[in-house]
Amino acid sequence: MESEISKNVLNVQVSSYAACNRPNGKPTNLYQWLTTQNAKIDLEELRKKENFSELKKTVLPAITVSGLFNGSRKAVNLIEHTKLICIDIDAKEQQKPMNEIFNQIKQLDFIAYLGKSCSGKGLFAIIPISNSEKHKEHLQSLIEYFDNMGIILDKSCADVCRLRLYSYDKDAYYNLNAAEYYGISLLKTAIPPKQSQTISDTKTNDVPKTIPDTSIKITDKRVIKVINGIKYNHLNIAEDYYVWMKIGMALYNTFGEEGRALYHIISSQSKKYDPDECNRNYDEMGYYKYEDVSIKTLFYYYNQAKKAVAQRQ
């Protein structure tokens, strides 16, 4: 158990509370909390009670997935953000069966945990995020991401202090090596006025930037081969918003402004391509500076897309 706990993304300290109305929390290991069944609580019996929606708030223990707090769960008392965000999927809001949604969500590489909510009807998932200072922006991006999947998320999860009620699920899904989610909502993220002016000055009357011949400025033969493969085979490797973001970061980190042209070529293979949106997204890469994403990301998704095409043929 010790070795398993020490190497997983859920091995973090959070605050636990005896109930929602209890003011002071205590440090608790998140992974142990998720995987340990509370012998004193019979959820099946509690769910049968007519006043369960109110009863659960006074009976069930709870944790703050996104942070460790000093006493009461107020933003000013946050000791450390866990770099995790919790999302809720309410069964009443969905247009498809929850078992289908469960199977759909667990395919995502950034899902560290997926299990039933305390009611037994909904689901909740825990996701590692790349920037703890952009908690709300990550949540907004996830709302948009899941909306594209036909799944509606609870918008109230933007609160870093949000409690997660006890809901042990023996059939929960775990990915202890889950990838970080890098998405930042372009619609909700404000760019500082000074930077916004700089970005505007680099454009000509807001007309999309022209896309130069990539062979002129980019000399990396591996990259040229990938871009030519995408361009001439009309290979769409970034239909997924999350993948699109990561590829943009990889290009920006490797080539800076020269990578913009490549980003347009890659993005234009999708029917959703909008040159202006592509420019805005690439501008955001320079603002957030996710330095740990390398050009290997481009190679990975390119090879994945080629394999998918080969399997269909």
Q: CB–CB of 208/141 below 8 Å?
A: no
Say what the pLDDT of residue 206 is: 38
Query: Is 278's pLDDT higher than 70?
Result: yes
Query: Is 5's pLDDT higher than 60?
Result: no
Say what the pLDDT of residue 184 is: 57
Say what the pLDDT of residue 63 is: 94
Query: Is 20's pLDDT higher than 60?
Result: yes
Share of the chain above pLDDT 70, in %: 84
Q: Where are the beta strands (DSSP E) in the chain?
A: 13-17, 26-29, 62-64, 67-69, 78-81, 84-89, 113-116, 123-128, 164-165, 173-174
Task: Using pLDDT thresholds of 50, 70 and 90, give the confidence band for residue 137.
Answer: confident
Task: Using pLDDT thresholds of 50, 70 and 90, give the confidence band for residue 289.
Answer: low
**Mean of all residue pLDDT scores within the chain:** 82
Which position has the higher pLDDT, 202 or 269? 269
C-alpha–C-alpha distance, residues 186 and 212, integer Å: 25
Query: Is 192's pLDDT higher than 90?
Result: no
C-alpha–C-alpha distance, residues 132 and 253, integer Å: 20
Enter the pTM of the model. Answer: 0.64
Condensed to tens digits (0 to 9), the pLDDT of residues 104-118 reads 999 888 999 999 998
The Cα angle at residue 309 between residues 249 and 146, in degrees rounded to 5: 50
Condensed to tens digits (0 to 9), the pLDDT of residues 224-262 reads 889 888 987 889 999 888 888 889 989 999 988 888 889
Query: Is 84's pLDDT higher than 90?
Result: yes
Say what the pLDDT of residue 290 is: 64
Say what the pLDDT of residue 197 is: 29
Condensed to tens digits (0 to 9), the pLDDT of residues 162-190 reads 999 999 899 999 999 998 887 654 333 33
Pairing of strands 62-64, 78-81: unpaired
In this structure, of 157-161, 210-214, 246-250, 278-282, the range with the lowest mean pLDDT score is: 210-214
Say what the pLDDT of residue 203 is: 34
Say what the pLDDT of residue 81 is: 95
Would you list the domain boundaries of the chain? Answer: 2-174, 193-312
Say what the pLDDT of residue 144 is: 81
Task: Using pLDDT thresholds of 50, 70 and 90, give the confidence band for residue 217.
Answer: low
Burial class (CB in 10 A: 0-12, 13-18, 19+), 231: middle
Question: Would the CA dihedral through 185, 189, 195, 199 be positive or negative?
Answer: positive
Token reading at 224: 């040229």
Condensed to tens digits (0 to 9), the pLDDT of residues 43-74 reads 888 888 888 888 888 889 999 999 999 978 88
C-alpha–C-alpha distance, residues 270 and 267, integer Å: 6
Query: Is 198's pLDDT higher than 80?
Result: no
C-alpha–C-alpha distance, residues 281 and 270, integer Å: 15
Mean pLDDT of 79-87: 95
Query: Is 101's pLDDT higher than 90?
Result: yes
- CA-closest candidate to residue 245, choices 194, 179, 196: 179
Say what the pLDDT of residue 211 is: 45
